Amino acid sequence: MLVGTVEKPWLTEKELKATLSYWLVYLFTLLGIAVSAVRCYFSWTSTLRIGNICPVLEDNFDTFDTEKVWMQEVSMSGFGNNEFEMTTNSPNNSFVRDGRLYIVPTLTSDVIGYNNIFNGYTYNISGCTDTDTSTCGAVSNQTLGTVIPPVMSARIHTREPYVIKYGKVEIIAKLPRGDWLWPALWMLPVNDTYGPWPRSGEIDIMEARGNSPSYQAQGIDYVRGSLNWGPLTWLNGVSKTFGWWTNRRKTFADDFHTYALEWTPKFIRIYVDSRLTYMLTLKFNEPFFKRGQFPSVVANGSQYIQLDDPWASGTPNVAPFDQPFYLIMNVAVGGTNGWFPEGVGDKPWVDASKTAMRDFAEKQDEWYATWPQNIEDRALVVDSVKIWKLC
């Protein structure tokens, strides 16, 4: 027998506020899903895509092919930056081991002795590739302040036909650590179609500084991508076309990373590991002369000359990046072009000094102490290089 009244809440009228709350939750949930879907759609449709690409080169460094694929540059020229290294074809500075390419900076004093770097010694580099023979040797002179470059390193680039005009490049590499090391993966034009550097352009897929993360001008925990272009050496638009990515947990010398370039007649994208971690994305939507906001008249000594657009004859909005480029990989050391800013990190030289290289060499004990003795950590180690062109 039932005692009392049995409650039947499903027969009672629902409270209006509770009903509204119920439906509002579902309404806003569906609205959020719809907005997200629309945003994803427009993000997808607006994403710059490279299109169809065809393979040009894949090198996994089972061997070091210097006959058909890679050219070893042998020079004391300083490469326009007054760098403090000479580049060699010595197996001490570039070699392949266990399926990886190593570009290793070493001390010149290990070859010729420390004192000979500074006074009374002539050194001619073996196998020099420069057409100007004056950059194939050096003489140290205490009175004049000239020295033999205190570091030996390597610089290699792709031979034809491994060049591209639009396409993609992927390089898997681990960077070197050590004060004043300057590893770079970059590209130059095959021909100076628009004139000498920087008129014909430069594509920097990756540049870095080997200094520790405590270095205040972006050390080895930063990598940078950029484009160099301009009508004159001292009018370079790179400040308008560069970017960087930082690794907050580790440095780029701790692990291998993928450094990539995507390049079409519509845009250039430079990134590390994925498109989400990009250093630079640039749409070709205005002429580079206009982008640079260069003056119409410049001083040339005591005269003033009209500054014309050097890219007027090229592809609109794309020139100078509308011509074939080749790939370069190297480890530079120091230099006087400002890559290492003045007054940062106890820099042992002043860019404007006529004895900058000598000043650097005299501090060898200090900066060499920061270079790992283990080649694995001191070298730019390249696991693979892949190049594609637009089909």
Tell me which of 73, 83, 85, 207 is the catalytic residue. 207
Given a contact cutoff of 8 angstroms between Cβ atoms, the answer to whether 378 and 371 are in contact is yes
Task: Tell me if residue 366 is catalytic.
Answer: no
H/E element holding 345? none
ω into residue 196 within 30 of 0, thus cis?
A: no
What distance in Å separates the CA atoms of residue 201 and residue 224, rounded to the nearest whole number? 17
Other residues' Cβ atoms within 10 Å of the Cβ of residue 208: 26
pLDDT tens track for 87-143: 999 999 999 999 999 999 999 999 999 999 999 999 999 999 999 999 999 999 988
Split at pLDDT 50, 70, 90, the class of 249 is confident
Q: What mean pLDDT do residues 314-343 have?
A: 98
pTM of the prediction? 0.89
Residue 281 pLDDT more than 60? yes
Q: 19: pLDDT confidence band, cut at 50, 70 and 90?
A: confident
Instruction: Provide the pLDDT confidence category of residue 236 given band limits of 50, 70 and 90.
Output: very high
Mean pLDDT for 256-280 is: 97
**Pairing verdict, β 85-87 and 151-153:** parallel
Residue 15's pLDDT band (cuts 50, 70, 90): low
User: Which bin fits 173, alpha (ψ -120 to 50), beta or left (φ > 0)?
Assistant: beta
Per-residue model confidence as pLDDT tens digits over 23-58: 777 888 888 787 767 665 555 555 688 999 999 999
Q: What percent of the chain has pLDDT over 90?
A: 83
Do 68 and 346 meet the contact criterion of CB atoms below 8 Å apart? Answer: no
Q: pLDDT tens-digit profile of 155-195?
A: 999 999 999 999 999 999 999 999 999 999 999 999 999 99
pLDDT at 320: 98
Q: What is the pLDDT of residue 206?
A: 98
**In a 3-state reduction of DSSP, which class is residue 260?**
strand
Quick one: pLDDT at residue 2? 54
Complete domains list, the chain, with CATH: 48-390 (2.60.120.200)
Compute the distance between CA of residue 322 and CA of residue 232 in angstroms, rounded to an integer.
19
Q: From the candidates 202, 286, 342, 376, which is the catalytic residue?
A: 202
Residue 83 designated active-site: no
Structure confidence at residue 299 (pLDDT): 85
pLDDT reported for residue 347: 98
